[in-house]
Amino acid sequence: MAASIRTLVLRVLSDFTRNIHHVSRCQSNIDSTEDRSTHFGFQTVPEEEKAGKVYKVFESVAKKYDVMNDAMSLGIHRLWKDTLLHIMNPQPGLRLLDTAGGTGDISFRFLEYTRSMYDRQQWMRAKSHQAPSWQDIADRYASDEAGPPQSHAVVCDINKDMLKVGKQRAEKAGITTGLSWVVVRYIYTIAFGIRNVTHIEQALQEALRVLKAGGRFMCLEFSKVTNPLLARSLNQYWVGICVKNNFEIVRKLHQTMCLPQETFKEMIEDAGFFCVQYFNLTGGIVAIHSGFKL
């Protein structure tokens, strides 16, 4: 009898303890859901507020965005973007999804690069046929009638003011074909935009989803400078330039979202990409990360 009572008491206590733990876990989950926060400059803000804050930052600097980039990088951002295209080495006929593409720098370079590649291929073909046969001549006429493979770039950005500036730049540059604002799937780039994403893991998974097998993900972003002297000098320069030109909030965004190269490489691999590698530029001020969907 005593043993039965003891067993019953132990069972009740066990159930009571288990229920307490269950309630504790549920409460913890509720609290973590309600208190989710993320970085914004040096501040910690609720996740649902970050997108709006980032939008306002780039809305305020859209018209002077290119001047700001020149001032903050001494113009080197142009070389960084050129390097991105040379590593990408896109061939005529490929499609590009340029996320956080704003003013169109990467897309414009992509279209120019594929056009120059096509011209070079045509020149090489002509050079290799110094004395062409009739069949070679007929094949060349047929290919000329078909026209060059049409490369296409899609600029994607959440900020309408940035896109407006990009469209104006395209009109001034005379780019009337090969550029649109809808989603396509082949190469996926994001330049100086991943730091503004609240959930980077989800963004990488979405990049993997929209790419076809064989497609490539490439990211150009500020990274961790390995040289302490360069890092200190860079910070002092940015402080001076940004305060003088009222770019302070943008400087904070740049500084507080510099993922270490190896950390970001692992995140890309965890998302499902293969052959992931990165290239440091200018002492690691920025890095280009690349991965393939197989």
* Residue 17 within any structural domain of the chain: no
* Residue 18 within any structural domain of the chain: no
The residues near 21 (Cβ < 8 Å, ≥ 6 apart) are: none
* Residue 11 within any structural domain of the chain: no
Range of the domain at 239: 38-292
What CATH number does the domain containing 214 carry? 3.40.50.150
Structural domain count, the chain? 1
* Residue 8 within any structural domain of the chain: no
Mapping DSSP to helix (H, G, I), strand (E, B) and coil, where does residue 218 land?
Answer: strand
* Residue 29 within any structural domain of the chain: no
* Residue 146 within any structural domain of the chain: yes
How far from chain centre, in Å, is Cα 261?
Answer: 14
Total Cβ atoms within 10 A of residue 251: 19
Q: Please report, in tens digits, the pLDDT of each residue of the chain (294 residues total).
A: 444 444 433 443 344 344 434 434 444 443 444 468 776 655 677 877 766 776 777 777 677 777 888 888 889 999 999 999 999 999 999 999 999 888 899 999 999 999 999 988 888 877 776 666 666 666 666 555 556 788 999 998 878 888 888 889 999 999 888 887 653 446 899 998 898 888 999 999 999 998 988 899 999 998 988 888 988 887 777 767 665 666 555 555 555 557 899 999 999 999 999 999 999 999 999 999 999 999
